[in-house]
Structure 1
Amino acid sequence: MTPKASPMLIICILIITMSWSVAQAVDFSYPAVFNFGDSNSDTGDLVSGLGIRLDLPNGQTYFQKPSARFCDGRLIVDFLITKNMSTAVDAMDLPFLNAYLESIGTPSFRTGCNFAAAGSTILPATATSVSPFSFGIQVSQFLRFKARVLELLAKGKKQDKYIPQEDYFAQGLYMFDIGQNDIDGAFYSRSEDQVVASIPNILLEFETGIKRLYDQGARRFWIHNTSPIGCLPKNIARYGQDSSRLDELGCVSSHNRAAKLFNLQLHALCKKLQNQFTDANVSYVDIFSIKFNLISNYTVYGFKQPLMACCGYGGPPMNYDSRISCGQTKDLNGSTVTAKGCDDSSKYISWDGIHYTEAANHYVSSQILIGNYSDPPLSDKMPLLLKKFK
């Protein structure tokens, strides 16, 4: 009879395997990054653009102050572009991306610019949209940014330390993490079938934006698919009253099904663009699988709370109340209450019921950099360097 391995031995093997994989990760070598997206990669655009407040405990883990990010610390994009991860993975050795709309403190855009804004959609914004900075607007902002940079470069070297060099636009990496709000928001007023039926129009708008960037010389595209939105505490709190709508993990089945169908069609679009843009690199990154694996096997990766928000109000099981956001104090039902942060955010996957914690973002970014979740796989065909430790 074969002896069974102990749980601790299994965990040790997993850790060793992950460490070996990480050791073979890729080392990025781009002079600049231009990012487009929503709150998953917003480093300050919505806060700057609309003048909203984002108070503590947002930012408490890494920045020790609000950083205009909807997180307790760093986002996935922060980990991907900076070389300060506490793992064997080497990301791009670049500073944090400044938000396009940030005007205070002479922000430097020499190594790129972030156009992502929380609440943004791929489809054009409407009067009720959280953010007016939809994907088409973000692309237009980039076009103006590039035109203005070229104007300044033509005047001499006075602004060199603040703006990209002209060839950075062709050599830079164009990153995209957007579409979640199109699918998630549609469920508020549409059936699952209607949400699914809207996906082709959403992706047509996305394709239009990508082609506008390609026509401007962009050649390196890094496209994240959308996450398992059915596992967001916000959605479980709203739609999970009926347990029949939840899957075995406690996530809202309809939302995850729609997300999967969106990703399937996005993947097909990326394959189409790979064939059309023969002189470009178009990489599709399966964020859904990384995050779903994290939620499914949270204890293996050191987490204790896969679905409950760290910063929120209401207590277990979700600690989420749509009437009060993380860090806010409001009068609810005659009482003054505050949506407070938990004691140890590193044990939580969800930060505020909508966004992930720094700890979860760290895990996701490490899996991205390993390269197993990319199509095509990260290889020497990309402008990256495989770094192997022997």
Structure 2
Amino acid sequence: MEFLILFFHCLLLITVVQGSSPHHQLDLHENHQRYSFRPRKLFVFGDSYADTGNVKKSLANSWKEPYGSTFPGKPAGRFSDGRILTDYLATFLGLKSPVAYKWRNLQKQKWYYGMNFAYGGSGVFNTFGDLLPNMSTQMDFFEKLINDSVYTKWDLQSSAVLVSLAGNDYSAYLANGGAFQGLTSFMSKVIDQLVVNLKRVRGMGARKIVVTSLQPLGCLPRNTKMSSFQQCNETENIAVNYHNLLLQQAVAKLNNETRNSEIFIVDLYSSFTSVIQHKRDYLGNLKFETPLKPCCMGKSNGYLCGSVDDEGTKMYTVCNDPKSAFFWDNAHPTQAGWHAVFATLKSSFDQIFKYQ
């Protein structure tokens, strides 16, 4: 019964939202005065879709070859062969990518551009015990820097905040024995905690907050492998649409509470879906013949991109040209994939930062 309720909720969402272009996802106040807003810094919270090097080397393959092979030419902690969402947003804003919190004491000169607190694999709740700081803990780190006068409230008021939530809470829920039938109630808990986090960063002074919708999890290579990378898992995508519906409702309520700060939803679901369906980027410059197949994949079950055996032998294969692949590994886009996604989203960011 619970799944049927979820299904019908999502049919409504698909009818109202999915058929629209990405900029329709933005929750803009129609009566607001239009003005140009160019952020001075970028602050980032979330997971691997935004992390530029926070996770410990001992915990993630993102610090192993062939990650980073396109940019910066060696493993640097990004879960891709190159640039990711954070990098493209920073470039769009005319900023350098904010320094990862992990390197705050080594690269103080880069504090000027903001800071990235995102940790790959994290969520709003603990996803791997205490190994990864959840979003609340990430904000604790940031609040301490404010209390220590590293950043001021003005810094936050004049900057942009990116919040990425790519589904690790749900993966952890299912991996720990959570039943799919109980997923809808758990989704409500995830959104409720996300709202707590958004209110908190808004209370710190943030005026422009960008939060990602959930991408089509059913289209990630880890879920399309069973169909030889030919079909998405639509059952999972229905669940994703329900998460995104709850997110829209929550953000609309938050925006109605105050006129001093705005939260915008960046529609990763529609942008991913558009690129995958059309097998190319928005401008047609990049083509992905088999968009559901990752460029880097394990040679056999149990091995992931970047894995080696006890003798150091590579237990993965890499495609000839990462630019021809939308996905890099079993869950993350290539640099070309993120480039295609951001090209689709550019009109949304134009509205947020230039004309809002």
Same-fold call, TM > 0.5?
Answer: yes
Q: Which residue of 2 aligns with 1:294?
A: 275
Q: Which residue of 1 aligns with 2:159?
A: 172
Does residue 79 of the first structure (1) align with residue 88 of the second (2)? yes
Q: Which residue of 2 aligns with 1:306?
A: 291
Does residue 231 of the first structure (1) align with residue 216 of the second (2)? no
Q: Which residue of 2 aligns with 1:329?
A: 308
Tell me by how many angstroms 1:133 deviates: 1.0
RMSD after superposition: 2.8
Q: 4+ residue runs of structure 1 moved beyond 6 angstroms? A: none
Q: Does the Cα contact within 8 Å between 1:48 and 1:102 map onto a contact in 2? A: no
Tell me the TM-score normalised to structure 1 length: 0.74
Does residue 213 of the first structure (1) align with residue 214 of the second (2)? no
The secondary structure found in structure 2 opposite 1:223 is strand
Q: Which residue of 2 aligns with 1:47?
A: 56
The secondary structure found in structure 2 opposite 1:167 is helix
The secondary structure found in structure 2 opposite 1:80 is helix
Does residue 361 of the first structure (1) align with residue 338 of the second (2)? yes
Tell me by how many angstroms 1:235 deviates: 2.2
Tell me the TM-score normalised to structure 2 length: 0.81
Greater helix fraction, Structure 1 or Structure 2: 2
Distance 1:257 1:219 in 2: 32
Distance 2:62 2:326 in 1: 24
The secondary structure found in structure 2 opposite 1:340 is strand
May I ask how many residue pairs the two structures share in their alignment?
Answer: 316
Q: Which residue of 2 aligns with 1:254?
A: 235
Distance 2:206 2:42 in 1: 11
Q: Does the Cα contact within 8 Å between 2:306 and 2:314 map onto a contact in 1? A: no
Q: 1:348 aligns with which of 317, 325, 328?
A: 325
The one-letter amino acid paired with 2:293 is: M
Does residue 116 of the first structure (1) align with residue 118 of the second (2)? yes
Distance 2:61 2:103 in 1: 13
Within-5 A mapping of 1:122-141: 122-125=124-127, 127=129, 131-141=131-141
Q: Does the Cα contact within 8 Å between 1:49 and 1:101 map onto a contact in 2? A: no
Does residue 95 of the first structure (1) align with residue 96 of the second (2)? yes
Tell me by how many angstroms 1:190 deviates: 3.1
Q: Which has the larger radius of gyration?
A: 1
The secondary structure found in structure 1 opposite 2:224 is helix
For structure 1, the 5+ residue unaligned runs are: 1-25, 83-90, 153-163, 315-320
The change in CA–CA distance for 1:348 and 1:275 in structure 2 (over 3 A counts) is: same
The one-letter amino acid paired with 1:308 is: K
Distance 2:238 2:245 in 1: 11
Does residue 142 of the first structure (1) align with residue 123 of the second (2)? no
Q: Does the Cα contact within 8 Å between 2:61 and 2:305 map onto a contact in 1? A: no
The one-letter amino acid paired with 2:161 is: Y
Tell me by how many angstroms 1:165 deviates: 5.9
The secondary structure found in structure 2 opposite 1:283 is strand
The one-letter amino acid paired with 2:316 is: A
Q: Which residue of 1 aligns with 2:14?
A: none
The secondary structure found in structure 2 opposite 1:187 is helix
Distance 1:44 1:339 in 2: 22
Identity across the alignment (%): 25
Distance 1:181 1:69 in 2: 16
Q: Does the Cα contact within 8 Å between 1:226 and 1:287 map onto a contact in 2? A: yes
Tell me by how many angstroms 1:67 deviates: 1.6
Distance 2:207 2:162 in 1: 11
The one-letter amino acid paired with 1:136 is: S
Instruction: Map Cα deviations across residues 59-104 of structure 1 (whole Å, 9 max, x no partner).
Output: 111211112101000001101111xxxxxxxx11111121112256
For structure 2, the 5+ residue unaligned runs are: 1-34
Distance 2:260 2:104 in 1: 35
The one-letter amino acid paired with 2:269 is: F
Tell me by how many angstroms 1:233 deviates: 1.0
Tell me by how many angstroms 1:289 deviates: 0.6
Instruction: Map Cα deviations across residues 315-358 of structure 1 (whole Å, 9 max, x no partner).
Output: xxxxxx552221221269xx955213211011111101111000
